[in-house]
Amino acid sequence: MNVQLRAGNALTPDDLDAWKSILAGNPTLDSGYYRPELTQAVARVRDDVEVAIVSENGQPQAFFPYERGDDHCVGSITGRLSEFHGMIVPQDFALDPAEIVKACGIRSWRFDHAPIWRTELEPFAWARSESPFMDLSGGFDVYAEKLRERGSSAIKQTQRKQRKLAREIGPLRFEYDTNEPEAWAALVKWKSEQYERTNSLNIFRYDWVHDLLQSIRSEKGPEFSAPLSALWAGDQLAAVHLGIASSSAMQIWFPAYNRDLQNYSPGLVLLLELASAAAQHGIQRIDFGKGEERYKYEFSTGVIPLLEGGIDFRFAMPTLLASWNKLNQAIRRSPWRKQLEAPILATRRLRQWMAFR
């Protein structure tokens, strides 16, 4: 096995063809996050994106994109923007992830959104989570029927809010992928306000994030795109969403809504419009990403199991990190969770700032 390092902006046409061939043969990697187009887009706005190319007999067999940080510690190329990440590997290719990480000169690789489809990462995992999704493989109507059979009234309640929004505010208009400047400006404004309300790091203050999102908005290819969807009620913009998609899977990425209309649940109204339109565009799965938000489970029809952990060659760090994670998990299960989490939440923005560049 040979491991070659390459800058994210130096991938050759042969590299890209090999990468895309792996994706085409491995449906478990069906996500815009695994597309080489995303790695290239990030590399255009950041100079710390690298790709390890694992070859056998001169032929690329696996790709490992990452962002190299200080002290040879690496993470996902999109940092907190990522919902899935990991190594791009064929289903039948055996690999030793620790050997690859070490060959890259990496001291520590953290992962927290690695799908459990390969057993090689399990020894390095200290927690499990899941990413709910909407199964649209049979079309929107089949998806909606599955929810109803489960006893969920989420769609019925949202459609009632949808009718009320149209009746009291104005006729609804939905665009699956809009070029309206108003929609982009509202997305940035509403998400920034949300980050401030929740004491979270406002990632839109980082030039590279703004440049990246603006760049991938122009991606309109059949295998990688970033549609900006918008919902209007009369002449008012009610909700927006910037997603990232492969040919058949879309990620709920940056949803935002007009808080003046929050009693109508405009974000959920947009979600249903988006799901219906996405199914017509060939999208078979909409991923929500991990998280405890209630709507993710109310509208999901399945989950993708995820691993959280890391490969770390620094002295004592694997034990320390695993212990810290166990403490967090214990706090979440505790009846005194709110009180115990108070100091953690108070320093959330500082910790996010330290981990995000």
Q: Do domains 2-131+305-355 and 137-283 have the same CATH topology?
A: yes
Q: If you ran DSSP here, which 8-state letter would residue 47 be given?
A: S
pLDDT at 351 over 50: no
Mean pLDDT calculated for residue range 62-69: 93
Please name the residues in contact with 203: beta carbons below 8 A apart, sequence gap of 6 or more. Answer: 80, 81, 195, 209, 356
| Rg, C-alpha atoms of the chain | 21
Mean pLDDT calculated for residue range 94-107: 92
| Cβ 77 vs Cβ 65: under 8 Å | yes
* Cα–Cα nearest to 18, from 52, 60, 51: 60
Domain layout of the chain by residue ranges: 2-131+305-355, 137-283
Cα angle 143-145-150, degrees, rounded to a multiple of 5: 100
Q: What is the pLDDT of residue 343?
A: 62
Give the right CATH number for 2-131+305-355 from 3.40.630, 3.30.160, 3.40.50, 1.10.3470. Answer: 3.40.630
Q: What is the pLDDT of residue 161?
A: 98
Composition of the chain by helix, strand, coil, percent to 5: 45, 25, 25
**CATH fold of 137-283, please?**
Aminopeptidase (3.40.630)
- Give the neighbor-by-neighbor strand order of the sheet with 2-7: 2-7, 49-56, 59-68, 73-75, 108-115, 302-312, 125-135, 285-287, 249-257, 236-245, 228-233, 172-175
How do residues 293-350 score in pLDDT, each as one tens digit?
999 999 999 999 999 888 988 756 666 767 766 666 666 666 766 655 556 555 554 4
Query: Mean pLDDT for the chain?
Result: 90
More confident residue, 85 or 336: 85
Largest CA distance in the chain: 66
How do residues 132-180 score in pLDDT, each as one tens digit?
999 999 999 999 999 999 999 999 999 999 999 999 999 999 999 999 9
Q: What is the pLDDT of residue 313?
A: 84
Write out the two tokens for 329: 């998990």
How do residues 225-281 score in pLDDT, each as one tens digit?
999 999 999 999 999 999 999 999 999 999 999 999 999 999 999 999 999 999 999
